[in-house]
Structure 1
Amino acid sequence: MICYRLRCAAGHEFEGWYRDSATFAQLQAGGFLSCPECGHADVQQALMAPAITKNRSDAPVSGPISESPVASAPERVASAGLPDQMVAAFQKIRQAVESRCENVGDRFAEEALRMHHKEAPERGIYGQASEEDRAMLAEEGVDVLSIPWVRRADG
């Protein structure tokens, strides 16, 4: 996990945690980032000192999501222990994915591959995928991105 210091166009600074730099770039390019204080969507990295961790076992579990056309395949993560602002940001991501994409459930890998091969219409999708499915999609050149999937804001 990477922790970035972020700044919105209004000047508010906050932290964001991402699986890797590519995940951050995809979320930023897809418009899935916003300031937890004012909601502004123009979010950039701020200057920060790097952090080095000793133990990767503290990283939260996540599921795949890709930029477009394949929009996501989330898995639930416990939000206990996460800062409230982080949970709120993940809830906004979840809401955006659920409102803009089709839930294909455990058919995620199959449907993503069909879209990649132009056998199904391009659209945003999300669902579940095993590690084997993710590896197969990567071999086929289908970009898939993992995102934390926390409880709904209204739930």
Structure 2
Amino acid sequence: MIKYNLKCKHKHEFESWFLDSKEFEKLKSKKMIECIFCKTKSIEKSIMAPSVLSQEQKQKNQKSIKYIKKIQKDLLKMRNFVEKNFEYVGNNFPREVRNVYYDKRKNKNIYGKATPEETQELEEEGIELTAIPWIDNKKN
């Protein structure tokens, strides 16, 4: 990990962490870095003092990266299971889950989308829901 001091074209200065210098350049070229103050995407590295990680810090970073990758793998397994074994009902989820809950339709496994307000209404009706972090199944 490397921390850069950054400056936008409006002279706002801020810091950000990157995996390495190549990652910074890649994100910058794709205009994926923006000023935290004015949202411009015209960003340059500013003068900075290097920050060297100790061996202990490097090991902690490696453990964190491995842990994050494991979580991503587990979430992807869960996504694949849900897509294979549940019916996707999209934005009709609140209506469809009520139909299943109130037994207007045969019990079936469904998943879909609901707004926070719709989710709260369903929970107030006694319908238990689980939100699943839906990670992209493509490699970045």
TM-score normalised by the chain length of structure 1: 0.45
Larger Rg: 2
| Greater helix proportion | 2
